[in-house]
């Protein structure tokens, strides 16, 4: 089930409220004991992540009372929650602060991601920038829109012509297994300009704004990709797993590719195909 417009607005209000009360007051104002690490030393979580997830999750349960609510930090505590996305008629997937490393280090490249799935397929997504208080909103079959706090909405399309000499994109080869990193780095750099924003929210936003030709992400967690993948597709782009499989938030292993068009997708699939054997 897709949320109606009133429910969409309420979800966005919940995100903005969490940003105002929990995220922004702590930005560049975190005590050392407010930052912890999870799977690795640079996989950070802060008190702002946890508190904003609690707020957004509670609001989502009121707005969509029959939905499963799956937050990144809740899954860190109870990994089995991840399996509920596939079984749920409706699920709300939340990344309370995407780009936590940036946030904890005082960089403003962080955001909030929220997706609603129906039968394991994303039907609605929000990619929110707390610093600028604007967001990208996407609906399955309804396009991708850039929205501001003053009510302005602009539909985004990324499938137009582009200068061949300005080819480039986004990639995170450092997140691959170590034996794959050097070759991946060289293969990506051979394409042109490649940036790693350490933030899926802003990577997907940049793709939707038409800034990048491709993005590559070796980490396939649903809170990172469910909203952004739909946003790129509804803006006219192409999203696949490396190897050609269609993406769904129920898939948690593999490498993610997004591209501005089918030609670019084919080019990047061919360039990085060796990873399917090297993983």
N-terminal to C-terminal alpha carbon distance within the chain:
36
Q: Is the pLDDT of residue 1 over 70?
A: yes
pLDDT, position 279: 45
Q: Give the position of tokens 């600028």.
A: 132
- Reported as a single tens digit per residue, the pLDDT across 33-58 is 888 887 676 778 899 999 999 999 99
Of all residues in the chain, what percent carry a pLDDT higher than 90?
83
**For all residues of the chain together, what is the average pLDDT?**
94
pLDDT digits (tens, 9 = 90+) for 178-211: 999 899 888 888 888 899 999 999 999 999 999 9
How far is Cα 30 from Cα 274, in angstroms, rounded to an integer?
Answer: 42
What does the pLDDT read at residue 164? 63
**Which tokens hold the place of 50?**
């946890």
Summarize pLDDT for 58-93 with one digit per residue, the tens. Answer: 999 999 999 999 999 999 999 999 999 999 999 999
Residue 224 marked as a ligand binder: yes
**pLDDT value of residue 192:** 86
Give the contacts of 93 (CB within 8 A, at least 6 positions apart). Answer: 70, 71, 85, 113, 114, 115, 116, 117, 222, 223, 226, 227, 249
Q: How confident is the model at residue 255 (pLDDT cuts 50, 70, 90)?
A: very high
Decide if pLDDT at 273 tops 70. Answer: yes
Percent of the chain residues past pLDDT 70, beyond the cut: 96
């Amino acid at each position: 089930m897709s949320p109606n417009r009133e429910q969409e607005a309420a979800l966005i209000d919940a995100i903005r409220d969490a940003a105002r009360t929990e995220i922004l007051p702590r930005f560049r104002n975190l005590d050392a004991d407010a930052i912890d690490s999870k799977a690795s030393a640079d996989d950070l979580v802060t008190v702002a992540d946890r508190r904003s997830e609690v707020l957004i999750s509670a609001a989502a349960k009121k707005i969509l009372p029959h939905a499963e609510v799956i937050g990144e930090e809740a899954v860190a505590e109870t990994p089995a929650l991840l399996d509920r996305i596939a079984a749920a008629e409706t699920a709300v997937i939340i990344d309370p602060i995407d780009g936590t490393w940036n946030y904890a280090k005082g960089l403003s490249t962080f955001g909030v991601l929220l997706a609603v799935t129906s039968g394991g397929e994303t039907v609605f997504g929000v990619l929110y920038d707390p610093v600028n208080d604007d967001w990208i909103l996407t609906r399955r079959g309804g396009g991708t829109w850039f929205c501001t706090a003053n009510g302005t909405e602009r539909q985004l399309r990324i499938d137009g012509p582009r200068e061949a000499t300005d080819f480039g994109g986004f990639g995170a080869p450092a997140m691959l297994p170590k034996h794959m990193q050097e070759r991946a780095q060289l293969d990506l750099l051979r394409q042109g300009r490649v940036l790693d924003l350490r933030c899926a929210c802003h990577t997907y936003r940049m793709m939707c704004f038409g800034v990048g030709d491709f993005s590559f992400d070796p980490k396939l967690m649903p809170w990172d990709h469910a909203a952004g993948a739909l946003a790129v597709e509804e803006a006219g782009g192409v999203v696949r797993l490396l190897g050609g499989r269609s993406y769904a938030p129920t898939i948690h292993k593999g490498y993610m590719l997004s591209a501005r068009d089918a030609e670019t997708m084919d080019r990047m699939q061919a360039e990085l195909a060796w990873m399917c054997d090297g993983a």
